[in-house]
A and B are shown apart, each in its own frame.
Chain A
């Protein structure tokens, strides 16, 4: 009797397992539709599909397809009309935007100026994106008529238009947001070329074409787009190679050649808006001496770092801004690797016998590698550096509090405007967790950054930013390290794909050959 019982139990166990296995397969096989979906893999799944609830890259890449902005920024970082057909500056604080008429949201509602006002006010209240829209004065958002809206800033703010092209300012439908309440992120409604069809959290986001997309000439060419989260970098390349996906974002250095040399695949490579830097604590001895900072810049072989750490992708930075950022000064002379000059400067600073210091980084393998190479190279000028790897939260807290000597961080000038890439990092108002973790202070830099922020004349702004970059390059609060590259792998039947320097690639122009 008991024998039977135990075997029944074991057999039922096995049967349940088997049923589970067979039970879970059918669904996704049925999912194949008549038209071929475009499958795009990125490192992680979208966190949210509400532009005000987070500001991460994976979410922005999906939201770019769902939402439209008043202003678009093309792949050359030029501003173009979006939901706003035209705009003009009314005074030094205020822009007036004329909206397109007849634009439909995914829920069938028509876009009006009230939706724009609602979106901007909501963004202002969000801790996640308030830094993008923080310059806007909530009292200055005025609906003139259903298709006209005025947006004023607290102070003159020249980069406003670039900020309005950021994914965080994608226009929402007031009714949809209000109705969905706290769960809006799971049922996003935009005016973009694709709308959400299904979201398996952590796995895939499925978008389908929005037939009533306002821009008839640029309607999506593929019926369905699936964003798939593949965390392992190598697996994205493998899946691309084996035909499991059509586009793979963020191909890593070790896979670039393999994808580029594969007969069925192609690499799409473009410089992006990111930079990695090693910051000094410019308020702390001995880094408060500009000669020490310059000496360290000379003592580091940046070409080696780019070759070893980034495997030849991206390029060594000349200054604080990459070439894709408007008014970036590409005439800056890179420090170059010159140990003798570094030794001279150390001697001038009275530190020919070197000193002990610490290089902090978070748990990011590339940054750890940079720190270790630095540690090794700094020995040439008698600097004994200890590498300290910290937890991300503790790292941000400690660098904001100025407890560090040297640290490694990155920055993305996502708006493409130099204000975003210089003001938070080098203005003395932003010391610490405002972004300037080097605690660098230079009155002339402050003055120029303030001037370029409020002045709308592009020529004046450009001249100011060029000068700021020269000063920053010479005073070296950073070791200018690396400017990143968008590395996208595609199958060769995928056409019409272009990298966007901000990483939020537009997929509605893509088609299969």
Chain B
């Protein structure tokens, strides 16, 4: 098991290198001079040239990329933001707690809604509850985040006046973004839980448990759910990893200063160091979450554990 984890962690190195190379190349070949973009239409050509040389933009592709990798490996330095001159790591770490909170709350909302709804839907297949929740899940997946966010703001901030329309500092401010973010994940988790549970409850050992006179709730919660959990955990893990990369729309609507907005701003202003650092960081967290999910499988299913060598 330890060897497996170590191997997976070592595999991150080529992945990160590949990611950084692809991102750097894409940023490099897209048109637009970062210095000109930063200084805007009012800047004199000399000023643009001065900034280009200060930022090292006159160097060739490989020199710039090599410098980035060298600083990262030797000095553990991701560089400074072109825009704010703040170290990229400081910018990312400044935003990450917010993104982590938002993603965690989103997943929490999704799990609280998704798993129980999925279980009930499966155990009462084709019942009114099942039908309503499946329609709800379809709506949840189909509803665009930004629209739902705006509707929630209208209802809870404007008409009812219960919750603030923006910010992410107080628990009250966190409610609407978390619900907005969690809804579509909840819908996915509901559907996954339902189909996974349906598959499991048709199996022989569940019938055996029933034949032995086991209470239905015990059969569902102890026997069925545990075996149905693997795909659910996978989906939850994927959703969490995805949300850690920043939920741009939700962040924008509720003015949440998370990683997503930082990245979008950086991409649109060709702020290379922040894009590079941000993508690497997101790739890393995504990979770590995936690894964590894989480790979790082993605890859920001993057969999988034996394969981890």
Contact = CB atoms under 8 A, between A and B. Distances in A.
Interface of A: 2-3, 5-6, 9, 13-14, 16-18, 20-22, 24-25, 27-29, 45, 47-48, 50, 53-55, 127-128, 130-131, 134, 182-183, 185-186, 200-203, 228-232, 234-235, 238-239, 241-242, 244, 391-397, 400, 409, 411-412, 424, 432-435, 437
Contacts of A18: 108
Contacts of A244: 164-167
B83 to A, nearest CB: 6
A391 B30 contact: yes
Interface stretch (B45-53, B136-144, B277-285): B45-53
A411 B174 CA distance: 39
Contact of B41 (A6, A50, A411): A411
Contacts, number: 191
A341 to B, nearest CB: 32
B257 A232 contact: no
Given A16-B104, A242-B165, 13 more contacts: A9-B296, A20-B104, A48-B85, A55-B40, A182-B85, A203-B255, A232-B255, A235-B153, A242-B164, A244-B167, A393-B37, A396-B40, A411-B41
B222 A3 contact: yes
Given A17-B107, A433-B36, A6 B44 contact: no
B268 interface: yes
A433 B171 contact: no
Contacts of B40: 55, 396
A203 B157 CA distance: 19
Contacts of A5: 299
Given A6-B226, A435-B41, A392 B32 contact: yes
A20 B103 CA distance: 11
A276 to B, nearest CB: 12
Nearest to B30: A391
Contacts of B34: 393
Contacts of A396: 32-33, 36-37, 40-41
A29 B170 contact: yes
B201 interface: no
Contact of A229 (B30, B91, B255, B296): B255
B255 A231 contact: yes
Main secondary structure of the interface of B (DSSP, over half): helix
A512 B104 CA distance: 39
Interface stretch (B2-10, B66-74, B94-102, B117-125): B94-102
Contacts of B302: 2
A465 to B, nearest CB: 19
B261 interface: yes
Interface in B166-183: 166-171, 174
Contact of A20 (B32, B47, B101): B101
